[in-house]
A and B are shown apart, each in its own frame.
Chain A
Amino acid sequence: MSNIAGTKSSLTWIVHISTALLVALWLFPTVGLLVSSFRTADQISGSGWWSSMFASSQNLVIRVADPDDFRVPQGDQFVVEGNLFDEGSESVISVWGTSSRAIDNYKAGETANLGEGETLTLQANGDYIWKGNDDQISGRAQRVFATAKSPPKFTLGNYANVLFTGNSTEGMSKAFFNTLTVTIPATIIPITIAAFAAYALAWMEFPGRALLIAVVVGLLVVPLQLALIPLLKLHLGIGIGKGYLGVWMAHTGFGLPLAIYLLRNYMIGLPRDIIENAKVDGATDFQIFTKIVLPLSFPALASFAIFQFLWTWNDLLVAKVFLIDASGQTTVMTNQIVELLGTRGGNWEILATAAFVSIAVPLAVFFSMQRFLVRGLLAGSVK
């Protein structure tokens, strides 16, 4: 057996490496957006997010302070002093120049001679001294072309902007609460209705039961595209119009087949003895359901709740058709992001942050309740 053990260990390494590669490939896109949401607009357009972890080298074109406001007389000359960077910047200048044709003419700390006694000295930290006579130190400020290395820098400003200060067309806080308002009733109501139906289909004897189960299985795959127009017409006809009530009802209807199917499959696996003993002891079906079956079915209820939550939270189509009216007051996050893609397609700092605000909650639910999610998937698919 030694040769088998030998091949195994070399194969194990390949398995570890390929798994790591696969995981990296799958994580990479998400990480890119996450990192981008912590960078400023200039940083995002200046370099790829993958280089944000390292000190980045940038070519800057900056004017020194306006001589008409800042120049100070010094003997017979005038001087403008200051720093090229904003306060708190940790950028370090390596080379610089005063013309676009020679941007690396001088090293940091050197003094450039601009002719006829006019000089400019630039330090690595951005401090500059610009000297010359009255004529030279006036009019437009001197331009500096500097190559600077800045350390990695991240900001929470995008989140503050998107969540709190953003106006209604870009802000996500309102859409966030709207999404929450859609999601919670749309998750709880179908569970309640489906639990009773699933109990009847699992533990009550009546003619036509098999047919009903088959119908539920069939409805599982009916595309909801079919329901859009007829139901919108119905909602407008009975006066619900576009609004929360309509979207809750639509999500309830569309979620029911899966809910009934999952819960019935789970309930039918509960031990027959418990239920029959309770019946013998005189419990009614209602009591058996609420006191025995419902508590025992908690894992299945949780599975479906997670499915329905993720699905309603992430939904775009149903909200667009049944909820969002012309006023745009009831917009949800997915719709908000699509609109941002249209209007602010190049502003990655806003897009990335908005997307992550909407992704954060499902991800938290996903990682904390993964167990139930996996169980639900297995119950729903493996035959």
Chain B
Amino acid sequence: MNPALLGLMTVIVGVSACLGYFYFSNLLLDKVIFPPKAGDKGRNITRANMVRPWLFLFPAMFALGLYLGYPVIETLRLSLTDRSQDGAFVGLANYEKMFSEPKFWEAMSNNMLWLVIVPAGSTAFGLLAAQLTDRISWGNIAKSLIFMPMAISFVGASVIFKLVYDTRPVDQEQIGILNAVWLNFEGGFGTTIALKIIPTLLMLAFVAMVAYAVNAVIAPLRSRYTKDSSAAKILRIIAAGLGLGLIINTLISVFQLLTTTFTYGEPQTWLTIPFWNSIFLMIVLIWIQTGFAMVILSAALRGVPEETIEAAIVDGANPFEVFFMIKVPQIKTTIVVVWTTITLVVLKIFDIVYAMTNGQWETQVLANYMFDKLFRANDWGVGSASAIIIMLLVSPILVWNVYNARKEMREK
């Protein structure tokens, strides 16, 4: 049968089966199993109403259990068995094998880099775009255009950026915009500003941002009136430590940037330069996710009470002070939500790496490593083990989200 026809029939059958299931199961419940007849009328209505929610929930629970619940357990089991030995239990052998592979550690360290740069970049650009477009007449059009990459597939975006990063031999005209721009740099004064001073300032701004966040995190520790439990204190110290590590790493990169000399005047094959190629892949995701961050943050910025801004202006605050000291602190929780949402996307990133470099030239990430193991090497044990690693990385966010959702429901 023609697949399109099959699709149409599935829609009709699927939807009518759903509606039919709900309709007839309700009918069955009310008319046959617990009919509201004389005698135990009230009891039967109550009983029917106790069962009914489960009728409504059953298909969804079944699908969720089968397609998301069961796989978590099954993957865990597979990661502890060996397929080539007929699924014999091998303990942590798969994990040991995985940890001994340099490619895995490359994927891990790249993923960590992605985890820092992409959410930071997207949120920063999103905040900038939200603030810029907020008060101007054509702001909505500008927003639409920045938001547009959200509709483009990761694969489509990869093609778009492959053209940007394209390289031709030295004697030919460059058709990738990045190389065309690169060839204009000759090592003179303008080059120093564009390639050394501006990036250095950006990185120092990032350091300042992290330092600010670290300070905010450890502030309650210095206060004598803190209500934190000791577990929260430890978490704060760990977070501050991570932040400090980030600051030191960034400062080292600044130093490296200032001391390296680039080879000017030659077209570069951007996607084969280790470390930088990962950055070029991240730019693709930042390009896509900035629109998302912008939409959410712009709504939050509009929710900032006007009085607080007016009060600050009356007190003589300049626009930058208004933004950083009045607006940003008030939308802190939204920034955290945006950050974590993008973090989730980053942890699962697969398509961009698969389409652009397929993990060559030291650009491997966990999801692509896993795909390699599952479908190229056919090693289900190690593949499942790396899936579990992704799950472990996601789980702090999972716990945090569930905790927040429960808190919110109790408040209602």
Contacts and interface: CB of A to CB of B under 8 A. Distances in A.
Nearest to A204: B53
Given A197-B57, A337-B156, A383-B333, A11 B295 contact: no
B385 to A, nearest CB: 11
Which label, helix, strand, loop or mixed, suits the secondary structure of the B interface?
helix
Interface string B173-193: 111110010000000000000
B155 A338 contact: yes
B145 interface: yes
Nearest to B175: A48
**Which residue among A200, A209, A354 has the maximum number of chain B CB atoms within 10 Å of its CB?**
A200
A268 to B, nearest CB: 9
A381 B3 contact: no
Contacts of A102: none
A33 B163 contact: yes
Given A334-B153, A377-B295, A227 B60 contact: no
Interface in A286-344: 286, 289, 310, 313-317, 320-321, 330, 334, 337-338, 341
Interface string A36-62: 100000001111111000000000000
Given A32-B160, A200-B56, A217-B405, A22 B153 contact: no
Nearest to B371: A317
A236 interface: no
Contacts of B4: 177, 180-181
Interface string B327-371: 000000110011001001001101100110000000000010011
Contacts of A158: none
Contacts of B66: 234, 253
B18 A192 contact: yes
B300 A382 contact: yes
Interface string B52-76: 1110110111011011111110110
Given A254-B68, A284-B30, A381 B341 contact: yes
Nearest to A21: B132
Given A23-B146, A189-B14, A192-B14, A206 B70 contact: no
A252 B14 CA distance: 11
Contacts of A365: 151
A229 interface: yes
Contacts of A26: 145-146, 148-149, 287, 290
Nearest to A338: B355
17 contacts: A15-B136, A26-B148, A29-B164, A180-B7, A185-B11, A196-B59, A210-B406, A222-B68, A223-B391, A227-B68, A229-B75, A229-B387, A257-B64, A337-B156, A341-B355, A362-B152, A378-B299
Which 8 pairs across A and B sit closest by C-beta, in order of nearness? A253-B67, A314-B153, A197-B60, A366-B151, A230-B74, A200-B56, A227-B71, A355-B159
Given A229-B380, A363-B151, A382-B299, 12 more contacts: A15-B132, A22-B146, A193-B59, A193-B63, A196-B57, A201-B57, A217-B401, A229-B374, A252-B67, A338-B354, A341-B158, A382-B334
